[in-house]
Amino acid sequence: MARQTFNIPNISCGHCVMAIKNELSAIPGVQSVDGSPETKAVVVDWATPASEEVIRAKLQEINYTAA
* Footprint of Cu ion (CB under 5 A): 12-13, 15-16
CA distance 42 to 38: 11
Query: Closest separation between CB of residue 39 and Cu ion, Å?
Result: 14
Answer yes or no: are the C-beta atoms of 42 and 35 closer than 8 Å: yes
Query: Closest separation between CB of residue 29 and Cu ion, Å?
Result: 26
CA distance 24 to 21: 5
Is the CB of 13 or the CB of 67 nearer to Cu ion? 13
Is the CB of 28 or the CB of 37 nearer to Cu ion? 37
